[in-house]
Structure 1
Amino acid sequence: MTEQQVAVAEPSPGARQDFLRAVVKLCRERVYEDIQLADVAKLAGHDEQQLRAIWPTKSLMVVEALFGEVAPRLVFPDTGDFEADLRSQLTSIAEAFGDPGVGPHIAALAAEANTDRMLARVFLDRVFTPNRAAASKRFRSAQEAGQVRRDLDLDAAIDMVFGPIWFRLLLGTGTLTAELGASLADHAVGGLASRPDRTD
């Protein structure tokens, strides 16, 4: 090894989770711009080089930490009652994104993804695509069960139902609360539900 080469220790067992917990804590204390890798490493009790060996950028670290934190709250239930499941899903998402330690950071990451191709790919692969697939699966099963109109364009329906939450999150046009989620569910079900055959 030359003098210019620096040995970087492999991340120690449990270091990744320590880092992620530290990120979540700092997200609740600071705005996105003020979160620094050195501060995360110090709070986690590990070397900064170990952190950088896992995540080359702050954005990749934060997106993993935040969505790992909220993922259990965003599972789309399937109880057989589509109206109840949709209400549960929308209220959970609205509450999660309305959390001041989560929502503003997700909005900052989404903005950064416009100019960071690696972040955009991670956001698409780990966040958008899995959640979109879960929604598509639940909407399709509701359609097959006759709880959702058979003539419905499911992609358009999903955009219509979840779009308002993302709109408020990214543009800051209104608060995100459980009440909003419930209201969106009420409005959505009226348009999505199967209708009795009409006779002239």
Structure 2
Amino acid sequence: MSPRRPERRSEEAANAVIKAAMDLCQEVGYRKLSIEGIAARAGVGKNTIYRWWPSKAAVLLDGLLSTWRLDASFPDTGDFLADIKTQMAAASRILGDPDVFPHYRALIGEAQHDPELHRALWERFIGHLAGAAADRIRSAQRAGQIRPDADPDLVTELLYGAAYYRRLLTTRTADNAHINAIVDLAFTGLAPPAESTRARSE
């Protein structure tokens, strides 16, 4: 699912379509959202939307990506625990935005039976964040702060999977205390062996 198709002729009309999709999804929910409704709200023809986007999910994904300004880069202060907590807390705050999170949750659900949307979510959003996390984990491994045999991708899934689970599947709050608990608990098993730590300090 690529970004808006290049033959669009009016950026103003395209932005109106995106805003209409975001507003309507908030008002009626993703299941009741339709291309017809988006077109009526935006004041454009249905065929115009289909020339620019293949589906309502594609419109909504463009809307989310234009709304969320999540920096994929990680801080690197030399303190991995502090850095990962800072980034995960920032991501959790954005995911918790009540104006956009319902849309994201709807797209996550839709992606389970729409392979094109699933691929687009990964390639255009989630994959960038996961890659940045894995890079920061490798940096921590080189600094001796994480076991060298730990798979960075698996560590990313371990840390962020817990946060996603709470945000997407429970009614509990994924707040800073929850993020800190995830990282602290996981790091107990990710820390390098004590003898390696002693050897570096000698």
TM bracket (short chain): 0.7 to 0.9
1:26-105 equivalent positions in 2, closer than 5 A? 26-70=24-68, 72-80=69-77, 81-105=79-103
2:161 paired with 1:160: no
Instruction: State the number of aligned residues.
Output: 190
Higher relative contact order (CA 8 A, sep 6+): 1
Structural RMSD (CA): 2.7
TM-score between the two structures when normalised by the length of structure 1: 0.78
Residue by residue over 1:130-152, the C-alpha shift from the partner in whole angstroms, topping out at 9 and shown as x without a partner, is 22211111111121122222232
Q: After the TM superposition, which residues 1-200 of structure 1 pair with which residues of structure 2 at under 5 Å, given as runs?
A: 10-70=8-68, 72-80=69-77, 81-172=79-170, 174-197=172-195
TM-score (norm 2): 0.77
Give me the whole-angstrom Cα distance separating, in 2, the residues matched to 1:126 and 1:10.
20
- Report the Cα distance in structure 2 between the residues aligned to 1:11 and 1:49, rounded to whole angstroms: 13
How far the C-alpha of 1:47 sits from its partner, in A, is: 4.0
Equivalent AA in structure 1 for residue 97 of structure 2: D
Q: Please, which runs of 5 or more residues in structure 1 have no aligned partner? A: 1-8
User: What fraction of aligned residue pairs are identical, expressed as a percent?
Assistant: 31
SS in 2 for 1:34: coil
8 A contact 2:26–2:102 mirrored in 1: no
- Give, in whole Å, the separation in 2 of the partners of 1:177 and 1:30: 27
Give me the whole-angstrom Cα distance separating, in 2, the residues matched to 1:27 and 1:170: 18
